[in-house]
Amino acid sequence: MEVPRLVDHDRRRAELGEAAIRVILREGLAGVTVRGVAAEAGWSTGSLRHYFRNQHELQAYVVQATTDTLRRRVLPRVQRPRTASSVVEGIATIVEEMLPLDAERREEYALWSAVVAWERQHPPEGGSVTWNDQRAVYRQCVAALRAYEPVREPSQATLPHPDAQVELWAALLHTFVDGLAAQIMNTPGEVSADTAAQLLRSLLQAVPPARPDQGAHRPRAESATRAH
Amino acid sequence: MEVPRLVDHDRRRAELGEAAIRVILREGLAGVTVRGVAAEAGWSTGSLRHYFRNQHELQAYVVQATTDTLRRRVLPRVQRPRTASSVVEGIATIVEEMLPLDAERREEYALWSAVVAWERQHPPEGGSVTWNDQRAVYRQCVAALRAYEPVREPSQATLPHPDAQVELWAALLHTFVDGLAAQIMNTPGEVSADTAAQLLRSLLQAVPPARPDQGAHRPRAESATRAH
DNA sequence: GTTAAAATAGCACAGGCGTGTTAGCATGTG
DNA sequence: CACATGCTAACACGCCTGTGCTATTTTAAC
């Protein structure tokens, strides 16, 4: 049996995923055509179709590859150890890693938004990809709130901040972050990065856990990276 | 000079706008093609092109017509006079008119979302349409907070709730509403209408103006419909 | 070198799109 | 009735799309 050259299919597919991401940023996921992506990657359509039988397979892979790329880019930033000058500032700096406050994060949000819009009009049978990311954002909100929770005396350890309360605040923070990101993206120039950052801090001031906020706080290290 | 039959152009355009809305709900604004909309309306492409010279004119009109339709549908509901059992409930019922909590409002949000996505990738030179709607939502939040503000004694009229504070809370509420709507739409079945309604009330409880919330409150009638 | 399989490149077809153009229909006025 | 003009329908062209198919090139094993 003769074995001709073997090409690392996964490597080629990943290489094509990067080209697809450029296409998505330019034209959206609907612009991911067989011919277009092949041209962007410098391939011929015949070559591309050796790795993806049809457009549907291509788009399904691109959706998965895009979300994987986003996870690899965002998660390390969010979980990076940090020291903050206050509780509000600590939570804010964590959450801001997920907001489109600069070109890099705008690009990430545009990609994520494209995938969300795609899945809304093409409900996948094999389980949604974006719902997992939504849960991940929620868990990061929980982690942020827990990490920068004011250190409590052992006597009142469970009373003021039971887990149910933290999870409720995390859900509120998660929803607020979603809205803030959407406003920054949808009205460029109208809602600036500065006003967004101030709004975020205003919300954190209003939500109970940050109320007694004076002086520096350090994150509880063991829970800063535990969540996933 | 001979004048043949005269057709009410505006009426025909409006008739076509309704067909276009059906197309948008099915395929998004990118699916608004000359041929497709003509077929949906039961016209020939030649007829349609008597009212719109090219696709760009058609899409520009459809964007405007869609937002106008949305304003006509949503605004009366939001500004409808209502009596609530509490401050939180009063604000919540107003804000909920803008949330995709049932089929009708889901349709409205899908239309609005399609226009937003369209304008993000096709920045209009003649000023954004969706930004005006965003401002309108914000003003409705201000109006809701003012209308259901607990009635105060004249002596402390200006101290606890200066306008700057109300506007800040309105901005927070507006952002939260944006996020809540996005979550309901993007994760159907995962974030239900009930949990969304509860989340909204939790936020209103946490935000200062609703803190002293016990007993029934009536809206301050003169400010319930003033805002626009 | 020979060979067989993998990889690549490209053509061909059908279908949808925007749009320019043209022919036919309908109708208020003379 | 005749007619000029607004409306309607349809065709034609070029471009882009997915996809089936084939020819060519490359490469590892014999």
Q: So where are chain A's domains? A: 7-53, 68-224
Give the CATH number of domain B60-224; options: 1.20.1300, 1.10.3470, 2.30.29, 1.10.357: 1.10.357
Task: Check pLDDT > 60 for residue A210.
Answer: no
Structure tokens at B134: 């965003």
Instruction: Give the per-residue pLDDT at B71.
Output: 97
**Cα three-residue angle A92-A207-A116, rounded to 5 degrees:** 60
Contact A182 B178 (CB under 8 A): yes
Instruction: Give the per-residue pLDDT at A206.
Output: 86
Q: Which fold has domain A68-224?
A: Tetracycline Repressor; domain 2 (1.10.357)
Structure tokens at B110: 């899908």
pLDDT category, A2, cuts 50, 70, 90?
low
* Nucleotide nearest A49 (Cα, C1'): D19
* A120, A180, A202 ranked by CB distance to B186: nearest: A120
Contact A190 B134 (CB under 8 A): yes
* A28, A179, A190 ranked by CB distance to B121: nearest: A28
* A117, A168, A202 ranked by CB distance to B117: nearest: A117
Instruction: Give the per-residue pLDDT at A152.
Output: 47
Interface check A33 vs B, CB under 8 A: no
Which residues of chain B make contact with A127, given a CB cutoff of 8 A? none
The reply to whether B35 has its C-beta less than 7 Å from any atom of strand D is no
The amino acid at residue B6 is L
Give the number of C-alpha atoms closer than 13 A to the C-alpha of residue A33, restricted to the C-beta side.
Answer: 6
Interface check B31 vs A, CB under 8 A: no
Counting one residue from chain A and one from chain B, the pairs whose CB atoms sit within 8 A come to: 88
Q: How far is A176 from chain B (nearest CA, A)?
A: 5
pLDDT digits (tens), chain B, 228 positions: 455 556 678 999 999 999 999 999 999 999 999 999 999 999 999 999 999 999 999 999 999 999 999 999 999 999 999 988 899 999 999 999 999 999 999 999 999 999 999 999 998 888 889 999 999 999 999 999 998 876 544 444 444 557 778 999 999 999 999 999 999 999 988 999 999 999 999 999 987 654 444 444 555 544 433 333
Cα gap B99→B112, rounded to integer Å: 12
For residue range A110-169, list pLDDT tens digits in order.
Answer: 999 999 999 999 988 888 899 999 999 999 999 999 988 765 444 444 445 577 789 999
Q: Which of A49, A38, A29 is nearest to A113 (CA)?
A: A29
- Between positions 186 and 205 of A, the ones with CB within 8 A of B are 186-187, 190, 199, 202-203
Contact call for residues B180 and B98 (beta carbons, < 8 A): no
Kindly report the CATH number that applies to the domain delimited by A7-53: 1.10.10
Cα gap A186→A191, rounded to integer Å: 9
Residue B178 has a CB neighbour count (10 Å cut-off) of 22
Mean pLDDT of A62-69: 97
The reply to whether B5 has its C-beta less than 7 Å from any atom of strand D is yes
The reply to whether B8 has its C-beta less than 7 Å from any atom of strand C is no
Q: How far is A98 from chain B (nearest CA, A)?
A: 14
Structure tokens at B207: 């935000």
Task: Check pLDDT > 50 for residue A223.
Answer: no
Task: Check pLDDT > 50 for residue A14.
Answer: yes
Give the CATH number of domain B8-53; options: 1.20.950, 1.10.287, 1.10.10, 3.40.50: 1.10.10
Kind and range of the H or E run holding A201: helix A193-206
* Nucleotide nearest A56 (Cα, C1'): D18
Which residues of chain B make contact with A130, given a CB cutoff of 8 A? 186-187
Share of chain A above pLDDT 70, in %: 82
Contact call for residues B111 and B70 (beta carbons, < 8 A): yes
Cα gap B197→A34, rounded to integer Å: 43
The reply to whether A44 has its C-beta less than 7 Å from any atom of strand D is no
The reply to whether A49 has its C-beta less than 7 Å from any atom of strand C is yes
Interface check B39 vs A, CB under 8 A: no
Instruction: Give the per-residue pLDDT at B133.
Output: 94
Q: Which of A143, A211, A145, A141 is nearest to A171 (CA)?
A: A141
Contact call for residues A78 and A90 (beta carbons, < 8 A): no
Structure tokens at B63: 């964007």
Interface check B25 vs A, CB under 8 A: no
Cα gap B168→B191, rounded to integer Å: 27
The amino acid at residue A134 is Q
Q: Which of A183, A225, A186, A86 is nearest to B119 (CA)?
A: A186
Q: Which residues contact B68 (CB under 8 A, 6 or more apart)?
A: none
